[in-house]
């Protein structure tokens, strides 16, 4: 289970950042930044928060609502569009979404932040110290909280987009490369929310 050891080892404020949607064939990449004020966390949430990939959609939504409603949590969300992904590449677009998430958090909490914890082994530059943590969503409560908010936020976006572009199964596959998505690409073709620089989509375009 994620814990608070990284955050408590630092004197100043610590922000955790995670992203969702890097590997999807369609739709934006979404990042979230989370700061837990005063490094205190309600005991109920402490035991509920976990890597978003390990939670059911119902559990994830319930925890998301608790995080959003809890004044101890400051959150910021950042989004990079399909056009930005194709123009910049997925890594740079992900970094851009992380910076936007951080800036949006800063708008709600303008105080000094000493450290940013980023899930993974690469991170963008911030105007404070940065620490990458591999499998950080399984180790840090701040990152794990961010992964839940980012996942629920992106799922909502993809469900809404599935109504505008029916048939691809985005309401369940969230734009990832499932069999239904593959079959729909053959039947319905590519739309403007598919990532044209991603190999499966690019291969279809080249044919």
Q: Where are the domains of the chain?
A: 5-158
CATH topology of domain 5-158: Nucleotidyltransferase; domain 5 (3.30.420)
The DSSP-derived string for the chain is: --BSHHHHTSSSEEEEEEEE-TT-SBS-EEEEEEEEGGG---HHHHHH---GGGS-HHHHHHHHHHHHH-TTEEEEEEEE-HHHHHHH-HHHHHHHHHHHHHHHHHHH--S-EEEEEEESS-----SSEEEEETTGGGTBHHHHHHHHHHHHHHHHHHHHHHHHSTTS-HHHHTTS--HHHHHHHHHH---TTB-TTSHHHHHHHH-
pTM of the model: 0.94
Per-residue pLDDT tens digits of the chain, which is 207 residues long:
788 888 989 989 999 999 999 999 999 999 999 999 876 665 566 677 866 677 888 989 999 999 999 888 999 999 999 999 999 999 999 999 999 999 999 998 888 899 999 999 999 999 999 999 999 999 999 999 999 999 999 999 999 999 999 999 999 999 999 999 999 999 999 999 999 999 999 999 997
């Amino acid at each position: 289970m994620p814990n608070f050891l990284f955050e408590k080892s630092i004197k100043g404020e610590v922000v955790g950042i995670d992203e969702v949607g890097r590997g999807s064939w369609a739709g934006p990449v979404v990042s979230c930044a989370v700061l837990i004020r005063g490094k205190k966390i309600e005991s109920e949430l402490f035991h509920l928060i976990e890597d978003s990939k390990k939670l059911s959609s119902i559990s994830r939504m319930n925890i998301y609502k608790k995080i959003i409603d809890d004044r101890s949590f400051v959150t910021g969300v950042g989004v990079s569009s399909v056009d930005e992904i194709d123009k910049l590449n997925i890594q740079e677009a992900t970094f851009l979404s992380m910076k936007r998430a951080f800036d949006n958090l800063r708008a709600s909490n303008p105080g000094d932040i000493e450290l940013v914890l980023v899930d993974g082994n690469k991170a963008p530059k911030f105007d404070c110290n940065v620490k990458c943590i591999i499998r950080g969503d399984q180790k840090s409560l701040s990152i794990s909280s961010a992964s839940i908010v980012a996942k629920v936020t992106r799922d909502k976006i993809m469900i809404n987009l599935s109504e505008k572009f029916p048939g691809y199964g985005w309401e369940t596959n969230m734009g990832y490369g499932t069999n239904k998505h593959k079959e729909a690409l053959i039947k319905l073709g590519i739309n403007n929310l598919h990532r044209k620089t991603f190999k499966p989509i690019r291969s279809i375009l080249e044919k």
